[in-house]
Every structure is written in C-alpha cells, then in structure tokens.
Amino acid sequence: MLSPSTETTDRREKLVNYRTLESLQEYVLVSQEEIKIEVYRQDAQGNWSLTILGKDDELCLDSIDLNLTMADIYEDVINV
C-alpha cells in the first residue's frame, strides 16, 4: 500500500532493490489515493514490464495464484 510518506521510497529504492532478486516475479504497488494498482512483472528473460490497473480491472498474480477484482481490493476503502 502506497502512502504519501513512503511512495518515493517504494517507487525508487525498493523497486530497484527488489528487481535484483532473481526469485521475485511480481512487485505490486497499491494506491490509497485512487483506485489504481501498478504491477511490475519479470518475464523468463529477466525483463520487467509494468501493468497499470484501474477500477474495472482484475489483479492476477501468477506467482501466488491469486485473482482479485479491484472492487474486492478496495471494498472497505472510502474516499478514493
């Protein structure tokens, strides 16, 4: 979950460091300011891509066999 106080660190330092982990397949940033999720994925060749999800999308994390709608994720969140 991104917060204003940690967002810069999560997007820069943590992302750079996590991308060096060979076993990491997906890195997820969940906005608390709007209905938005950023999913960074590593492919078999080690290349990273970014997918940005919005209100009508579904979060699919193959690494842990998880599928959730954005409505499920933001179910009890108000004012986004």
The long-range contacts involving 2-9, CB below 8 angstroms and separated by at least 24 positions, are 2/29, 2/30, 2/31, 2/32, 2/33, 3/32, 4/33
- Domain total in the chain: 1
58, part of any domain: yes
Q: Is the per-residue pLDDT at 1 higher than 80?
A: no
78, part of any domain: no
79, part of any domain: no
64 or 80, which is more confident?
64
Q: Give tens-digit pLDDT for 10-62.
A: 888 888 898 889 899 999 999 988 999 999 999 989 899 999 999 999 999 99
64, part of any domain: yes
Round to whole Å and give the CA distance between 49 and 4. Answer: 24
54, part of any domain: yes
11, part of any domain: yes
Which residues constitute the domain of residue 16?
Answer: 7-73
1, part of any domain: no
